[in-house]
Amino acid sequence: MSYVLTVIAFIVIFSILVLVHEFGHFIMAKRAGIKVEEFGFGLPPRIWGKKKGETIYSVNWIPFGGFVRMFGEDQGDLRLLRSKRSFAAQPMRARVKVIVAGVVMNFLLAWILMFVGFTVGMQPILGPDDVLNAVNDGRIVLEQGVKVKLVDAGSLAAEAGFQPNDVIYAINGERVDENNLASITQNPAKTFGVVRNGQPGTLQIASANIKKDVPQKLGLNFYDFGDFPRVRIYDLKPNTIAYHAGLHSEDVILSVNGQQIFGIPQYETLIRGVPKLEYIVYRDGLIQPVIVERSQARQVIVSSIVSGSAAEKAGLKNEDIILTINGKAMNDSAEIVKYVRDHKNEQLAYLIDRGGQQLFYEMKPDASGRVGVMLSELMNYVDDQGISVYNTDQVASVKEIKNEKYPFYIAAYKSLGETWKMSVTTAKMFTNFVAGLVKSGEVPETVSGPVGIAQMTHQFVQEGWIPLLRFVAVLSLSLAVINILPFPALDGGRLLFIIVELIIGRRVNQKWENWIHALGYFLIMLLILVVTYSDIVRLFHK
């Protein structure tokens, strides 16, 4: 029954998206005084039609989308240029409005759907550039490893003892990644390192259980997962503070002091001069907290002294290290500046380290709260010697993407920003996909055609109406963005010819324009066939 519901939902969704698009062309053509010959639901042949005024409103046999047939839309007949009701005879401004109206309607539909979603609570639409930020601020909750969502009854995985919510962290003793995980579909006889209820263990699919000439399903269905950039410890010498604190070689560093770590530059910035580091690391399928306390990793040094200042008169010198002021420990230059300004009317007692000797100096800041020193951080890396790290990818499952809910006035603004951001992302992804397809001849797994969209529709139908609403918004945006790209046969291609007409001051040869649009249409159909074939291949290889 769920598959019947999916088919109905797919047809309804596709039809709504196309009809909204075509309605934009229809309403703007009517406003421009263009004769609209037919507005149809579905694609011909026609089942039923009724003429109202000069327009036939029809229902057609193929229940996908719809169409608008305008008088003079095919500009091959030059006689149409003399008819005031013809699309071809309209001034450029009117033709541009009619062409762009369909795309505008799809943008508007996406905005309305996202507005409703953010008003009641909906997951944000995250592009590739947003994922790491969302992980860092907690909108995306990850679970390290590959998490099992469902186990098919009677499958090889069920016989091996797999259960929902098991997390695979190793295959045949190697860290799990997308490559060795993909290999189990070809040869499922593996030993799996699995964490269940916080306890690590192993499960095995034995070769003896795999029957030749008998179709057997692996039966493992996973939560969404992917590779995330992380930092892994390569080597750790036994005499280091980090080693004694509990860090190990091969640990994956997930966060330091509450900040997610996605690369060495970020890691180095976070640990610089910080005396206490609270690590969260991933080790053998488990999350481990480790606290590393370092001895005075950062100090404040005097880099120069202003001539005639209170500091010079008191006797401070370059390269003096400020330990305390009025008994308060200091290891941050900004903190010292603020403290001195806040106590500018007081006599301040400085404890200084000069070449290993501790000295006391007293001085009073001037009226602006300065004593006349230039400060810098002195970074002490002695405690970090013997630890080496490198950038790596760590596979993780998306445990949760948190809903975002706003008052209606913020939801309206938020939806507008999401619409624009997703539009830019879609345009980049589509152009990169086409370029990659031409170069390599391969369709990325992130690109789906009608079959893939039908599969996703089934998934979102199961998840509920809010996820389905969000999915329709993304589809509407995708339809709008792709349609406005300057490619022949698309709305953007027709708009491009009007721009050329504006530049050269006359219409492009209609015969040539029609041939170019026909070629564009052929290439689009070919592209759809290639993507659909890729969808089907992926479907049968799951």
Query: 72-116, pLDDT tens digit by residue?
Result: 776 555 566 667 888 878 888 988 999 999 999 999 999 999 999
DSSP state, residue 404: B
Residue 16 has pLDDT above 90, yes or no: no
What average pLDDT does this structure show over 278-288?
Answer: 93
Query: Quick check: helix, strand or coil at residue 361?
Result: strand
Contacts of 327 (CB under 8 A, 6+ apart): 349
Residue 194 has what pLDDT? 93
pLDDT of residue 119: 93
Q: Give SS3 for 199.
A: strand
Q: Which of the residue ranges 23-27, 388-392, 429-433 would you say has the lowest mean pLDDT?
A: 429-433
Mean pLDDT of the chain: 85
- The predicted pLDDT at position 1 comes to 45
What pLDDT digit, counting tens, does each position of 308-317 carry?
A: 899 999 999 9
pLDDT at 541: 57
Tokens of 307: 């001539």
Percentage of the chain lying above the pLDDT 90 cut: 29
Q: Which residues pair with 293 in a beta bridge?
A: 276
For residues 427, 429, 433 and 439, what is the CA-based torsion angle, rounded to 10 degrees?
100
Phi, psi angle pair for 152, to nearest 5°: -70, 135
* Per-residue CA distances from 144 to 33, 65, 73, 141, 401 (Å): 61, 42, 56, 10, 15
Where would I find the beta strands (DSSP E) of 242-347? 252-256, 259-260, 276-283, 286-293, 298-305, 321-325, 328-329
Walk me through the domains of the chain, giving residue ranges and CATH numbers.
Answer: 2-123+409-540 (no CATH), 141-225 (2.30.42.10), 227-295+384-396 (2.30.42.10), 298-379 (2.30.42.10)
Residue 234 has pLDDT above 60, yes or no: yes
User: What is the average pLDDT across 266-276?
Assistant: 84
Q: Is residue 270 scored above 60 in pLDDT?
A: yes
Alpha carbon of 377 to those of 106, 265, 356, 394: distances in Å? 55, 19, 17, 34
* Spatial separation of the C-alpha atoms in residues 454 and 6, rounded to whole Å: 8
**pTM, rounded to two decimals:** 0.69
Mean pLDDT of 212-219: 68
Q: What DSSP character marks residue 372? A: S
pLDDT in tens, 110-147: 999 999 999 999 888 887 778 888 888 888 999 999 99
Both structure tokens of 81 = 């240029």
Selected residue with higher pLDDT from 184 and 148: 148
pLDDT at residue 275 in the model: 80
DSSP secondary-structure letter at 519? H
- Mark residue 441 as left, alpha or beta (left: phi above 0; alpha: psi -120 to 50; beta: remaining): left
Per-residue pLDDT for 437 more than 80?
no
Write out pLDDT tens, residues 360-400. 999 999 988 999 999 888 876 556 667 889 999 899 999 88
Q: Who has greater pLDDT, 454 or 149?
A: 149
| The pLDDT of residue 310 | 92
Which position has the token pair 């769920």? Answer: 2
Confidence band, pLDDT 50/70/90 cuts, at residue 283: very high
- Residues forming beta bridges with residue 166, ordered by sequence position: none
First to last CA, the chain: 22
The pLDDT of 511-528, averaged and rounded, is 82
